[in-house]
Amino acid sequence: MKTSVFSFDFKRAKRCTVCIFSTLLFLTTLSIGANPTSSTLERVLKNKTLVVSVNQYYEPFYIEDPNPKFPGLDVEIATFYADYLGVSLKILPVREFSDHAKKLEEGSVDIAIGAISTNIERSKRVSFTDPYLITTPAALVNRQILPPEPEGQIITAAPFKSLRDLNVLPGLSFSVRSNTPNHDWLKSNYSNVPIYTYLDDFRALNELKKNNVNVYVADSFRIQALLQREPSLKSNYLALLTSVQEEHLAMAVQKDDIVLLRNLNFFIKEIRRSGWLNRKANQYFSNSGWVTKK
């Protein structure tokens, strides 16, 4: 791996990983007693293999049969972390947060990197890292329900930028994937408007395309990805991407695995500080190079 990606020398840091781990394990031992449980990081370094679960149905974080230049954003992050540790990588696609949590609990997965939104309830089963990306509830809106722009006037700003801006419109109806932060936000902010929930985003989006609803709600990264995959959507639907509430996307580890958590937080801090993560995110969400024909 080229060290020029970072101003920080990660090759040198990788050589120090065992030392860092030993120090952290010693500190953890002092804090939890003389017989601590073995950290996942210790096992990974010993077995020379890192197993990471990813979200099977969330392009471009994970892409099935990808263009080799665009393996998926979460896959690239996992690959970089495995290289940093000096171990091989095994990727395991799963469907839901509950699948990530179960595999972490049983020890068949070391880390979950699946664009997972954090919340209090989920933190009862896993421990979350600091966020590596921040998103927001966003939407695609049928342009037919929007008022026409005044003729003969120069429009300096779009009147509809976020989900909150829709509260002035009559006849709203929403589709959203059930049991998600986006669903929770809608229930809190549009409780008097019809909200139709679906088991997956594919079905929720289809309801918009079939004109059964006039607003499809998902997080901003999913909306941006849809516009890259289906640019024709822009002619019929307006994307509302301005933030209404921060949603933190974080990695997850086995509950209270402090050693691995600290190591991952250092890694996340560095890939954000150096600009590597921002550059990678732009490669996926600002162009369609990752899109494959299906």
Mean pLDDT value of segment 273-281 = 97
In this predicted structure, the answer to whether residue 4 has a pLDDT above a threshold of 70 is no
Report pLDDT for 290: 95
* Token pair belonging to 261: 């958590």
In this predicted structure, the answer to whether residue 21 has a pLDDT above a threshold of 80 is no
Question: Do 8 and 88 belong together in one domain?
Answer: yes
* Alpha carbons 184 and 97: distance in angstroms, whole number: 16
Report pLDDT for 150: 65
* Alpha carbons 19 and 196: distance in angstroms, whole number: 52
Does some domain include residue 226? yes
Question: What is this structure's pTM?
Answer: 0.84
234-253 confidence digits (pLDDT tens): 999 999 999 999 999 999 99
Give how far Cα 176 sits from Cα of 135, 195, 211, Å.
16, 7, 14
Question: Do 262 and 116 belong together in one domain?
Answer: yes
Question: Do 94 and 178 belong together in one domain?
Answer: no
Give how far Cα 281 sits from Cα of 39, 60, 72, 224, 232, Å.
30, 10, 10, 11, 22
* Alpha carbons 64 and 228: distance in angstroms, whole number: 16
Question: What is the overall mean pLDDT for the chain?
Answer: 88
What's the first-to-final CA gap in the chain, in angstroms? 32
Number of domains in the chain: 2
Report pLDDT for 27: 44
Does some domain include residue 291? no
Q: For position 130, which CATH number holds?
A: 3.40.190.10
Report pLDDT for 152: 56
Q: List the single range of 34-43, 141-150, 269-278 with lowest mean pLDDT.
A: 34-43
* Alpha carbons 263 and 81: distance in angstroms, whole number: 10
Residue 197's Cβ-count burial label (10 Å; 0-12, 13-18, 19+) is middle
Report pLDDT for 116: 95
Q: List the single range of 108-112, 154-158, 185-189 with lowest mean pLDDT.
A: 154-158
In this predicted structure, the answer to whether residue 8 has a pLDDT above a threshold of 60 is no
Q: Say which amino acid occupies 234.
A: K
80-117 confidence digits (pLDDT tens): 999 999 999 999 999 999 999 999 999 999 999 999 99
In this predicted structure, the answer to whether residue 61 has a pLDDT above a threshold of 60 is yes
Indicate the DSSP class of residue 36: P
Do residues 220 and 135 touch, judged by C-beta distance below 8 A? yes
Question: Do 127 and 257 belong together in one domain?
Answer: yes
CA-nearest of 238, 228, 241, 251 to 208 is 238
Which helix H or strand E contains 254, and what residues bound it? strand 247-254
Name the domain boundary from 240, 260, 275.
240
Alpha helices in the chain (DSSP H): 10-15, 17-32, 40-47, 73-85, 97-106, 181-189, 201-209, 220-229, 233-236, 258-273, 276-285
Does some domain include residue 53? yes
- Provide the residue range defining the domain that includes 152: 137-240
Question: Do 125 and 258 belong together in one domain?
Answer: yes
Question: Do 201 and 213 belong together in one domain?
Answer: yes
Question: Do 125 and 14 belong together in one domain?
Answer: yes
Do residues 219 and 138 touch, judged by C-beta distance below 8 A? yes
In this predicted structure, the answer to whether residue 24 has a pLDDT above a threshold of 80 is no
